[in-house]
Structures are given as C-alpha cells and as structure tokens.
Amino acid sequence: MSRTDGLDAVGLRDVLARGDESVEATIAETFDRIDAVDPRLHVFLNTERAYAERRAIELDRARAAGEPPGPLFGVPIALKANMCLEGFESNCGSKILAGYRAPYTATFVQRLLDAGAIPVGTTNMDEFAMGSSSENSAFGPTRNPWDPSRIPGGSSSGSAVAVAAGLVPIALGSDTGGSVWQPAALCGIHGFKPTYGRVSRYGLIAFGSSLDQVSPFARSVRDIELVMNVMSGADANDSTCLDEPPLEPEHARDPSSLAGLSVGVPQEYFPSILEVGVRRAVEAALATLEKLGAKLVPVTLPHTEFAIPTYYVLATAEASSNLARYDGVRYGLRVDGDGSLQGMFAATRAAGFGAEVKRRILLGTYVLSAGYYDAWYGRALRARALLRQDFERAFESVDVIAGPTSPLAAFKIGEKTADPLEMYLSDALTVPTSLSGLPAISVPCGVVEVDSTPLPVGLQLIGPHRGDARVLRVARAFESVTEFARARPPRMLDARGAARGGRA
C-alpha cells in the first residue's frame, strides 16, 4: 500500500511507518488522483508535477544513501495560492498576480521541505483570502466534494477540498476570520487555527496582518499535531512570531478521557440563524464531551454581536494598506490606461481586482480617512479589546470553549452572492476568535440532510492564548470515540477508486 491510499483507514503516521513504496511512485499516484478529480472540483490553480517528481527522486536517493528520513518524508502536500515557494506561482486567486512566481520560500514551507514533504501545487482561494465561499476567486469557484453544486467554504477552499477529496493528506490554508476552520467544517475534515504568532507569517502574502495565520488541514488530529510540530517555532524573519519552541502534543493517561476538564458553552454561539440540523449535531457532540468526563459550563461572551462589524472595519483597513503595493509598477499585472502614472494605477487595479477586493479596499480606505478614523477604526480597536476580554473572563472558569463552527451547512453556489452582508454572517461564529488571536479547531461532529444530500457539520473548540495543545487534546479525545472524521464524500469514492488505477 502506498503512503496515500491508506489515509481513509489510518492516520498519516501509520502510512509513513510502512515505507514500502518509493516516493516517486507515491507522487505518481497523487497526480493520478488529481487528474481524475480536479476537473470536477477545481481544487488547484497550478500543479507542479515536474518539481514534485524531481523532489521525489531526490528523496528516494537520499534514503538509499542512508540519510534518515524526516517526519514528513515523501508526503505530498498542497499550498494555498497566497504562500511563497520559490518558483511556484503565488497568484492569491487574483488576476492582478496571475503568472507571478515567488522569488523566495516562506519559513513554514521551508520547514515542511526540511521534514521531507513534497508540495504538489497551489490551491484555489477567494481572491486575496477575501471571502467565505470560494466564489470570489478570479479563476472560478472550488466545489464541495459532498455536493459539487455547493460551496466548500472559504477562503481556503482549495486546500480544504484537497484533503476532503483525498488528493493529499495535508494542505495548508491561511486564516484571517475563519478561513480554515469554516471550510473544514463544511467539508467534513479537521482545520486548526493556532494562536496568533505560533507559526511564522514570513512568506504568507498579507491580507490582514494582525489576523492572518498559517493553518493546516488534515483528516485526523494527530496529523494536525505532527504538522504543527514541524511548522511552529520562533522565526527571526517575523517580528510577530512567538519566541517559543515547536508545539508538542499534550498527553493524558487515558487519551479518550476528559475528566477534570471544563468546557464552556456560550449562549451567543447558538443564535437564531443557526440551522436546526447543525444545532442538533453540535448539541449531541457536547453530550459526547460530557460522557468523556468533561464538565459543561454555561459562559457568556456578551460582545459577540459586535464581532462582524468590528472585523470588517479592522480587516478592511489592513487590507487597504497591504494591497496598495499592487499598482502595476513592481510586479503583477500592468494596464497602461491613459498613459499617465495615476491612469496606469487606476487601470491596473480596475482590471486586476475583483468586486469583493475593491469593496474591501474602498471600505478600508474610508475608515482610515481623516475625519472618520476615530469614529470607525478607533472604535473597532476598542471593540476588539472587549471581545478579547470576554474570552479572558470565560477562560478563568473553563479550559476550552465549544460550539458550532458554522451556523449553516454548505449552501448552493450563487445562493448568497447577491447579498454580501448575508455572506459575511457565515463567519459570525469564527470571527470573534480570530480577532482575539486564540487557537481553535473544527472537528467533524455529524452530518445533516439538506435536499436529500448529506452535508458535514463541524464542532469548534477554542482555547486560551497559547492553549493550542489543550485544544488539540480535547479534539483528539472527541475523535477517538466518534466515527465522524472517517466519513467520506460519497460522490468521491468512485473517482478515487478510478484514480488508483490511473484512469479518470
């Protein structure tokens, strides 16, 4: 069995332990699956077959020469298209960066390379990570493997589907306001957002610098732990990176016991917009945590209702600054316009940016402008502090907080595009955590039937600042006594079987 075929039944570490097939063969099988499945789901914006094949040969030779393998030896991975690997196209899902190839490699990518991983390509995303559905990609949306007529979540849509559809065992996304654990929930896999600063952002193309976090997708919690151990740790290239050693798992005598732990359940995370099926699945998941020995404690996060407006002031303000560099002068698209410098700026941005990116740049410029800075940006900063204080008070009495990841199951492509405000509410339960810089994970906790289609539901677990290992421990305990993480998209099973044989 190859390193990737066994992932439906066992975890990444079990597959790595076999080592009974060449890395070159593993990469060939990976691209067979991509060729079979990707035309239907639009996961990758660019694949790098020649690079992956060369690297596989190098790893096989190194192993034959007696070099010890790294913890991710020969494992194919996918990178979101806003991540830099020298020579890879990093277009951020935008026409303005189409064809742009990174001149350097991100710290977190280099650490994966040093561990033996093999990047196979860059995945689709909402343009510059601005969106919750993949519909804002300049190159068309990624589709949910559970139902290709539905969205997979966003903005890290391609990376989530790469794992959910079985194309790669590990994929990286970036999270600004829920962009990893929201699509993880809608695709039925694990998505983990670490504490802000736990993973270096050097080499991640910025959207909102005080919010962005590199985050992994995987099919099991222990795979998340392995990848986090490789990626995390101090980095002199990123002044916001925490000066801490790589993340280590938190172990317990009984891995499935949560005795002595308290789980906060905020009433604000069960709003009126929460779908009935989602509510039932999450309530059942909470009951499971209680059976494992955890004590459920009601907590309140009273400023949750202000999280969405706070986020869309702060994130757009940072976006307007970060995206000012795309002007047609240094890199990316250039459109001459009327021949003047200002005309070239305007024409380039008009042609290169999509509607959602333009909307957020304009909003961010407005809230930072003279006369409005204090009324909007200043107030949003104060609201952010209050949201953070809500969590700090709650964590005085509980170890983790639990609730639904997304208020909705995956909706139809095009269903919410006419109303941006309704789309923004998809992140209503994740944005407070991102604004507070806390660690969180979404774990599969059930399936709901929507129009006779089974769709996944995610349970989010939130920890205190630097409480990453505790969050992962609780998630691992939940996973150990449930079968939800083993569920696979029914529509993908035939395609995967065909891909193993090398045929679409």
The residues carrying an active-site annotation are 80, 155, 179
Q: What residues have CB less than 8 Å from 281, skipping those under 6 apart?
A: 445, 446, 447, 448, 457, 459
User: Minimal CA–CA distance to 213: which of 248, 249, 178?
Assistant: 178
Can you tell me the distance from the alpha carbon of 460 to that of 281, in angstroms, rounded to the nearest whole number?
A: 12
CA 55 vs. chain centroid, Å, equals: 25
Q: What residues have CB less than 8 Å from 276, skipping those under 6 apart?
A: none
Torsion of CA 327, 328, 331, 334, to 10 degrees: 150
Q: Which amino acid is at 294?
A: A
User: Minimal CA–CA distance to 489: which of 43, 18, 16, 2?
Assistant: 43
Q: How open is the CA angle 400-401-405, to the nearest 5 degrees?
A: 130
Q: What residues have CB less than 8 Å from 385, skipping those under 6 apart?
A: none
User: Minimal CA–CA distance to 126: which of 198, 178, 87?
Assistant: 178
Can you tell me the distance from the alpha carbon of 145 to that of 153, in angstroms, rounded to the nearest whole number?
A: 11
User: Minimal CA–CA distance to 15: which of 78, 75, 79?
Assistant: 75
- Helix H or strand E encompassing 445: strand 440-450
Instruction: Describe the strand order of the beta sheet including 213-218 as a list of residue ranges.
Output: 44-47, 118-123, 76-80, 170-175, 213-218, 190-193, 440-450, 453-462, 400-404, 262-266, 295-299
Can you tell me the distance from the alpha carbon of 343 to that of 350, in angstroms, rounded to the nearest whole number?
A: 10
**Straight-line distance from the first to the last Cα atom of the chain, in angstroms, rounded to the nearest whole number:** 20
Can you tell me the distance from the alpha carbon of 180 to that of 126, in angstroms, rounded to the nearest whole number?
A: 12
3-state SS, 223-254, equals HHHHHHHHHCCCCCCCCCCCCCCCCCCCCCCC
Both structure tokens of 344: 């070239």
Tokens 């804002």 label which residue? 136
